[in-house]
Copies of this chain bind each other. A is one copy, B any other.
Amino acid sequence: MKTKRAKNYGFCFGVKRAIQLAEQNRNAITIGPLIHNQKEIDRLKFNFGVNVESDITKINKDSKVIIRTHGIPKNDLQALNDANRDVVDATCPYVKKPQQICEQMSNEGYEIVIFGDKEHPEIKGVASYCTSNYQIILDKADITGLNSHSKVAIISQTTKNVRAFLEIVHFLVEHCYEVRVFNTICNATFDNQESAEILAKEVDIMIVVGGKQSSNTKQLLNISSKFCKDSYCIEDENELQDEWFKGKSLCGITAGASTPDWIIDKVEQKIRNLQP
């Protein structure tokens, strides 16, 4: 079976950086999983002694603490610093940015609209930097309390869709006096999506490699399915099923932003060995 990888796929800049930091800090503890990929978490534990602890109060006082790519709430970071903990901040710089914007816009008296999922750790972290009024919304219908005198700043969860973000911007521009738009959507997510679409159009079957919990992996599967009906999501090569490939000749491969290359390599190798 022939294979073709998407032009852009897999790890983004922020994840590569976080893994590098973990590898450089053996035996450190990450607050929650560093990235959304259990196999990579296992590799870091096995090869570098990096462990996961979700409860901040349970972390051994002598361990280095790694803050994961999504960031953590301001108060938690403050508590770690106040306790003189040895903190390695692996928060993605593209997530730091909306945190800083929320803090600055609060100081300047703007009402803040955050386009994102209330329950996502990135958004919990980002919102914690707002000191003035803010609202976390997914749809313009959720927006409340604004009027034609309102001065609003809007940011987005880094992994959201730009078109949906622009719909919210539309609504705000039509209803508010001033709208300060910070496009905090990360291009990496975007580039992977665009590449998946292009590839899905030219292959017979698409394999999306990524964690079942990863929202950007789900989006890649959705996009692939639109343009190639035989699209499947797997976590590793063991989930591949021979019957998917019957009668196919070209298999496209893409991967979520938290999927390490070594997993993608194994998947590709196994597909290449299949008989079409």
Chain A residues with CB under 8 Å of chain B are 162, 165-166, 169-170, 173-174, 176-183
Contact A179 B183 (CB under 8 A): yes
Given A166-B170, A166-B173, A178 and B180 contact (CB-CB distance below 8 Å): yes
* A174: chain B residues within 8 A (beta carbon): 162, 166, 183
* A182: chain B residues within 8 A (beta carbon): 177-178
Copies in the complex: 2
* A180: chain B residues within 8 A (beta carbon): 178-181
Chain B residue nearest to A182 (CB atoms) is B178
A33 → chain B, closest Cβ, in Å?
Answer: 30
Minimum-distance CB pairs A-B, first 10: A179-B181, A180-B180, A173-B183, A173-B181, A178-B182, A166-B170, A169-B173, A181-B181, A166-B173, A162-B174
Contact A181 B183 (CB under 8 A): no
A273 → chain B, closest Cβ, in Å?
Answer: 42
Tell me, in angstroms, the Cα distance from A173 to B179 when the chains sit together.
11
Tell me, in angstroms, the Cα distance from A179 to B19 when the chains sit together.
33
Tell me, in angstroms, the Cα distance from A179 to B170 when the chains sit together.
13
A221 → chain B, closest Cβ, in Å?
Answer: 25
* A173: chain B residues within 8 A (beta carbon): 162, 165-166, 169, 181, 183
A151 → chain B, closest Cβ, in Å?
Answer: 10
Tell me, in angstroms, the Cα distance from A162 to B179 when the chains sit together.
14
Chain B residue nearest to A176 (CB atoms) is B183
A24 → chain B, closest Cβ, in Å?
Answer: 29
* A166: chain B residues within 8 A (beta carbon): 170, 173-174
Could you list 18 examples of A-B contacts with CB < 8 Å? Answer: A162-B173, A162-B174, A166-B170, A166-B173, A166-B174, A169-B173, A173-B181, A174-B183, A176-B183, A177-B182, A177-B183, A178-B180, A178-B181, A178-B182, A179-B181, A180-B180, A180-B181, A181-B181
* A165: chain B residues within 8 A (beta carbon): 173
A131 → chain B, closest Cβ, in Å?
Answer: 20
Chain B residue nearest to A169 (CB atoms) is B173
Greatest chain B CB density within 10 A among A162, A176, A178 is at A178
